[in-house]
Amino acid sequence: MDGTQILTLGLGLEAPWVLKDQHLDTSVSPHRLDLYVEAERGSLYPCPECGKACPAHDFADKTWRHLNFFQHHCYLHARVPRTQCPEHGVKRIEVPWARPGSDFTLLFEQAAMSLVKEMPVLAVSRQLEISDKRLWRIVHHYVGRMLGDLDLSRVTTVGVDETASRRGHCYVTVFLDMQRKQEPVLFAVPGHGKDAIKAFRAFLADHGGDPDNVVEVVCDMSQAFLSGVAQHLPNAEVTVDWFHIVQTFTKALDEVRKKERREKGHPKALRWAVLKSLDNGNLTAKQIAALQELVADRGATADAWVIKEKLRWIQQAPTPRAARWRITNYLNVMREAVTGQALLKPMAKALTTLERHAEQVVRRWMSGLTNARLEGMNGLFQAARSRARGYRNEANFIAMIYLIGSPVGRMLDHTKSI
Ligand SMILES: [Zn+2]
């Protein structure tokens, strides 16, 4: 067996294609191996439309980057014919080793995609010695193709969350299948609120799903989401995720802390005795010690912290009825505590938000959906962000969310190559 035969086998070339010539150039850096593939003279080629064997009309020279040959870059060259079909006219044929329009062989792209699943795109582009821009183009092609094959016909329960794709500027809204533990991501779209829900409805319908089958949506308390759900997923009951309640109060607490630090005001402390009546002993000793220490400084931040911490008492309610009762009592006591306290205004706002969505919060006790799912999304967003680093825009960030968090990554493992 000579070198040409070995390379032909290695390339997996089949008739009519044969390796005609090879050239290893070690005078350039990096060294390169050029392989010249041709079809036997007089070969017939399948018409891309009907598959009928047709003669060539003319040829165009094309080049593809292939997997490295040892440490050398490898390029495949071929004269690609256009067929002359009696029915369909003159058409450029598809070669078996590359997809139309790509400058890379399928094997190269497959290698690139398996690396992209494991490490940041920028690192992969350095390793493969191609620009990250070209690598992203490959990523978008395969993610898009896999997305096209997604079957969403069984989706009934959806979680919605949003995240900033770049520091605070652009938002990406992500939809999850709440019934799928692995690879829960269904859809990710730039923007947020009502438009995102509308886009999800269209995506669902395009992938065999029925927006009317969505009976449950878990989301945060933003009015934009809620009105979007009401309009575009009309049969869905909304459950406000517990994670978002805690997030709302934590944000409010942070506002209070910043404001107090800025103004150095001296607000009246929250009455600890009042709060004490709610204490059912569920706090750990460490938490109680920290709480007491914080409350001892008698500042607004301490009061706000207590208000946030006492949410736990609601969370631990054993039944929907108990939850409803606890929310009412919590609101009564905390309202009294924040009344007339200028620095605690953010907490008063958070309390109003909880009050307005009390029934949607209570649904959490009835729907049986765990709240950990959306909270876990932060880890996914972090991972996607770091993988997409270096060439960051919404589309790249979203492609990474799909690769890491949806079935797309696994589907890629089963794609065929030459
Ligand atoms: Zn034809």
pLDDT digits (tens, 9 = 90+) for 65-106: 999 988 899 999 999 999 999 999 999 998 989 999 999 999
Looking at residue 132, what is its pLDDT?
Answer: 92
Looking at residue 128, what is its pLDDT?
Answer: 93
Q: Which tens digits make up the pLDDT trace of 113-138?
A: 999 988 999 999 999 999 999 999 99
* Tokens read off for 60: 């165009």
* Tokens read off for 62: 């094309």
Looking at residue 294, what is its pLDDT?
Answer: 60
More confident residue, 34 or 293: 34
H/E element, 21: strand 17-25
pLDDT grade for 144, boundaries at 50, 70 and 90: very high
Nearest to 399 by CA among 407, 391, 389, 388: 388
| CA 61 to ligand 1 center in whole angstroms | 22
| CA 235 to ligand 1 center in whole angstroms | 48
Looking at residue 253, what is its pLDDT?
Answer: 87
Looking at residue 332, what is its pLDDT?
Answer: 94
Evaluate if residue 172 carries a pLDDT over 60.
yes
258-295: b (≥16 Cβ within 10 Å) or e: ebbeeeeeebebbebeebeebeeeebeeeeeeebeebb
Beta strands in 254-392 (DSSP E): none
Half-sphere exposure of 220 (CA within 13 A, CB side): 21
| CA 359 to ligand 1 center in whole angstroms | 62
Evaluate if residue 417 carries a pLDDT over 50.
no
Evaluate if residue 163 carries a pLDDT over 90.
no
| CA 41 to ligand 1 center in whole angstroms | 21
Cα-atom radius of gyration of the chain, to the nearest Å?
A: 30
- The fraction of the chain above a pLDDT of 90, given in percent, is 54
| CA 15 to ligand 1 center in whole angstroms | 20
| CA 96 to ligand 1 center in whole angstroms | 18
Evaluate if residue 375 carries a pLDDT over 80.
no
Per the CB < 8 A criterion, the answer to whether 295 and 302 are in contact is yes
Query: Lowest-confidence range among 7-16, 185-194, 222-231, 326-335?
Result: 7-16
| CA 45 to ligand 1 center in whole angstroms | 10
Evaluate if residue 26 carries a pLDDT over 70.
yes
H/E element, 249: helix 242-263
* Tokens read off for 293: 């220490």
CA distances from 147 to 86, 144, 186, 206, 409 (A): 36, 5, 9, 11, 10
Phi, psi of 245 (to 5 degrees): -65, -50
42-56: b (≥16 Cβ within 10 Å) or e: eeebebbeeeeebeb
Half-sphere exposure of 295 (CA within 13 A, CB side): 17
| CA 85 to ligand 1 center in whole angstroms | 5
Looking at residue 290, what is its pLDDT?
Answer: 57
| CA 66 to ligand 1 center in whole angstroms | 30
State how far the Cα of 291 lies from the Cα of 64, in Å rounded to an integer.
65
Per the CB < 8 A criterion, the answer to whether 204 and 152 are in contact is yes
Looking at residue 29, what is its pLDDT?
Answer: 87
| CA 90 to ligand 1 center in whole angstroms | 9
Average pLDDT over residues 321-334: 95
| CA 86 to ligand 1 center in whole angstroms | 7
Contacts of 213 (CB under 8 A, 6+ apart): 155, 156, 235
Q: What is the biggest distance separating any 2 CA atoms in the chain, rounded to whole angstroms?
A: 96
pLDDT grade for 265, boundaries at 50, 70 and 90: very low
| CA 83 to ligand 1 center in whole angstroms | 8
| CA 60 to ligand 1 center in whole angstroms | 19
